Amino acid sequence: MDVIKVVLADDHALVRDGIKALLEDQNGIEVIDEASDGKEALEVISRNKPHVLIVDIRMPEMNGIEVVREMTANYKDIRTLVLSMHDSEEYVVQSIQAGADGYLLKGASKEEFLKALNKVASGGKYFTGDVSAIIMNNFVNGTSVPSAPKQEPAVLPFKLTKREKQILSLVLELKNNKDIAEELQISKRTAEVHRFNLMKKLKVTNLKELTEKAKEYQLI
């Protein structure tokens, strides 16, 4: 795309003004409209069909997660970047399950914000460091993979160790590293290493991909 067309949805005018001022200094990005609440955001999206919606979570009328869910169902080509002050597991997981393509904290640097916006606009995913950890620990989008007739499992090109199978099972139960460590009676750091090695072996970068790969090989 030549110009990334953006809609801003945040109930704080000062926040919108700040983001708009930042983006207007960038070549190839245009803020085409704004919204101060969730319902207005959907109206603006319907009217303008932007490339990217940048949306806050806490808004009147309709919160950002509800907006993302509604928008994802009706406008599959529009990308969404949640920009929030909240780094709680609940908000992060609900946002991703609703269909958000990125989640960035409002304390992020200008450089990271622009990186996230460009990544999402180009069809990628972007989750800031702390948020990525939450997603790795908690996110399983069971509805993203359509059910299919039972078939012979694909053959794994490698073998999982007994410990990796245990880690996989616990990760898919939404256990975080602390919970895994307690259940397996290992250190939290060891749990983190096992999780990292499992993701690397399966060549996945997030729990959505891990779930899909586990289903593909009928590991779950």
> Which residue is it, tokens 């060549």?
203
pLDDT of 153 over the 50 cut: no
132: part of which helix (H) or strand (E)?
helix 129-138
Q: How confident is the model at residue 93 (pLDDT cuts 50, 70, 90)?
A: confident
Instruction: Determine the CATH number of domain 142-216.
Output: 1.10.10.10
pLDDT of 197 over the 90 cut: no
CA distances from residue 88 to 12, 47, 99, 192 in whole angstroms, order as listed: 21, 32, 17, 20
Instruction: Delimit the domains of the chain by residue range.
Output: 4-138, 142-216
According to the model, what pLDDT value does residue 156 have? 56
This model's pTM is above 0.75: no
Q: What gap in Å lies between CA 12 and CA 6, rounded to an integer? A: 17
CATH topology of domain 4-138: Rossmann fold (3.40.50)
Q: Read off the tokens for 110.
A: 């200008």
